[in-house]
């Protein structure tokens, strides 16, 4: 409703829609940048996580062997039971896909809400 106290030429005009003023824009931008960053670091993460998980599994086997020896059972060589890492990538204990799915959902939701806000301000 226009302010009737002001002359017609001095009536406040609605400000134009600026996307950068919307929190949904920043949510969309940061989630998309997160997806790009995940795509860039995924190969390095996979190599590094493979090393970490290999050490974790090795320590678990070592602890089980120590318990066997403490119980008086015959010692076994851990080197005999070791399995070479296959050439094909295996699934990780801590995968990246939950982060990627979450960032994708945040991007989709933020984009939808930004479009909704944009349409509402044009009315």
| This prediction's pTM | 0.67
Mean pLDDT confidence for 66-72: 88
Torsion of CA 86, 92, 93, 95, to 10 degrees: 180
Per-residue pLDDT at 77: 76
C-alpha separations of 9 from 15, 16, 54, 65 in Å: 16, 18, 74, 87
Match 């799915």 to its residue by tokens.
101
% of the chain residues with pLDDT over 70: 76
Whether the predicted pLDDT of 4 surpasses 80: no
Positive/negative CA dihedral, 7, 8, 9, 15: positive
Whether the predicted pLDDT of 69 surpasses 70: yes
What does the domain layout of the chain look like in residue ranges?
22-122
């Amino acid at each position: 409703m226009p302010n009737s106290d002001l002359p017609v030429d001095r009536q406040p005009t609605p400000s134009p829609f600026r996307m950068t003023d919307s929190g949904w824009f920043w949510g969309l931008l940061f989630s998309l940048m997160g997806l790009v960053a995940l795509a860039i670091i995924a190969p390095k993460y996979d190599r590094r996580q493979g090393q970490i998980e290999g050490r974790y599994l090795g320590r678990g086997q070592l602890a089980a062997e120590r318990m066997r020896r403490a119980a008086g059972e015959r010692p076994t060589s851990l080197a005999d039971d070791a399995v070479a890492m296959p050439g094909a990538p295996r699934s990780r204990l801590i995968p990246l896909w939950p982060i990627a799915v979450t960032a994708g959902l945040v991007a989709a939701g933020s984009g939808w809400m930004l479009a909704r806000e944009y349409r509402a301000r044009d009315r």
